[in-house]
Structure 1
């Protein structure tokens, strides 16, 4: 992926262990356009790249604003960036990409964020407020006030129907999503970003909603397969079968052997890598398929086989 350099214009802590970085063009030029829900790939000091959502209003192209949560138990990308990147440094980033694009195709938009998932949701809320094309409600779920990034900004600048809810680590104090999302929402659309647990809770609470009306982004928190049983996968039209070890996805294995597999989010939320399941049994881990689709479909970036071998094919 091609990258270009931006300069770190400012750094600040916006919640406990969550740091905002504002990037600008080194020559004060406008940065590439983006639409709400977009993310950029950022080069981090350990040589890897990480994806971070843009949370500023895209009307202002003089800056990109991201927020990074320090993950001490991660692979070192966030820690290295936070500890080593200072104001004035040059950072390599990609042009904006979008698997979670805001669309004005509903009579009401409901925005639900959990933790650091507020970043793309904040961008969406700002655009909806500025354009006034569609009324929206915002629900922001965090453990407590110290972990509520941009809490004051949300309260002071958004005039939408905003609820900031803290559960203080007590599941019994969680927001009642079932009641909140019950009833007729046939003209509403949800955009939800946050940890996998929140996404599953929203998916469960909206099981009666029309297909396509609930749109997810998993903010890098999907459980990755590790140390699990290997299995075999066959692709219709190919003689070989391919071993999928516990530390790789079906998608990754097939890409490594040269098969052209479509993909985008690689977190089980966009559905780009949906394949037909012809034989075998799947262990579904995505947030795309409905119950009546699981018997003969599989999302290969995250789901695995519950049987020793499965056979898949491209969708019609």
Structure 2
């Protein structure tokens, strides 16, 4: 998901619905305008939460709709509190601020065949894509992996779309139906466009399985970076604007350390994929662990994603 969007829209929460165990959907409608900005399948919005938290969520509803946006949130026990707050606090009628839709995971509507592979909450952008392809009459198939049926969000909605049951294959671990991702890729038509969204291991396996296919036909979106966050600590960050030197302790990320010391820094995914926490580097060598910066940007060492990256030098001077 992309960098934070500064364009803000006031909306009202009009519906909360349980979609699966630990997954709830939230419907937002405009307050000051009759319609919301148009969006394309695969797009996401930023949701502004208390305590300066920003979270990015895929839009689940049909892109044809302009009267509402719908997102789904999975409760994450190990998260930074955004998902827990969403499951605990909001009530229908509450007012929220969101960012205008952005899309880093676009759908190729001209493809002869679209093959979707997803795991868990990775279904959310795929639902919007399938709804769009249903409107255009294009051919598609879905392989949906989940631990058990009760955790497979939107499975019932998708089953209504695929009434014949010929385009959706559920791979439920509880029923011994583990997904053979490489087999799915190998069986896909040579001119098919393939999409994957899900856990880190699934996306990594998907990229490996698609190595021989044209890159223009392979699409994926991560919810977490391919590398583990740098939590070794043992270095200092220096804030250029006020001169503070703050040690980063073992077990902490740079972001953890900055927040602990009251430093105002924007962040969203906390996984190195959205770009919200991008911070300028004045001096030092970052230990890049993100999936947002390009290889050239990483080599230039002029920016760092503080949510997941560390430092290869004893001191990292940040533009903060």
Q: 2:15 is matched with which residue?
A: 10
Q: 1:197 is matched with which residue?
A: 201
Match of 1:174 among 172, 178, 200: 178
Question: Residue 60 of structure 1: CA displacement?
Answer: 1.0
- Is the CA contact (8 Å cut-off) linking 2:290 and 2:309 kept in structure 1? no
Comparing 83-92 and 44-53, the one that deviates more? 44-53
Match of 2:192 among 183, 188, 191: 188
Question: Residue 278 of structure 1: CA displacement?
Answer: 7.0
TM-score (norm 1): 0.73
Matched, 1:165 2:171: yes
Q: 2:125 is matched with which residue?
A: 120
Q: 1:33 is matched with which residue?
A: 38
> Which runs of no fewer than 5 residues in structure 2 stay unpaired?
1-5, 236-247, 256-271, 284-288, 315-320
Listed as ranges, the matches of 1:93-132 within 5 Å are: 93-132=98-137
Listed as ranges, the matches of 1:208-287 within 5 Å are: 208-220=212-224, 224-228=228-232, 247-248=253-254, 255-257=279-281, 268=291, 273-275=294-296
Note closer, same or farther for the CA distance 1:203–1:67 as it changes in structure 2 (3 Å cut).
same
CA distance in 1, matches of 2:50, 2:109: 38
Question: Residue 303 of structure 1: CA displacement?
Answer: 9.6
User: RMSD between aligned alpha carbons?
Assistant: 3.5
- Is the CA contact (8 Å cut-off) linking 2:279 and 2:304 kept in structure 1? no
CA distance in 2, matches of 1:42, 1:277: 28
Q: 1:79 is matched with which residue?
A: 84
- Is the CA contact (8 Å cut-off) linking 1:72 and 1:79 kept in structure 2? yes
Match of 2:149 among 139, 145, 152: 145
> Which runs of no fewer than 5 residues in structure 1 stay unpaired?
232-244, 260-265, 280-298, 310-316
Divergent runs of 4+, >4 A? 220-224, 248-254, 276-279, 299-309
Note closer, same or farther for the CA distance 1:252–1:22 as it changes in structure 2 (3 Å cut).
closer
Query: More relative contact order in 1 or in 2 (CA 8 Å, sep 6+)?
Result: 2
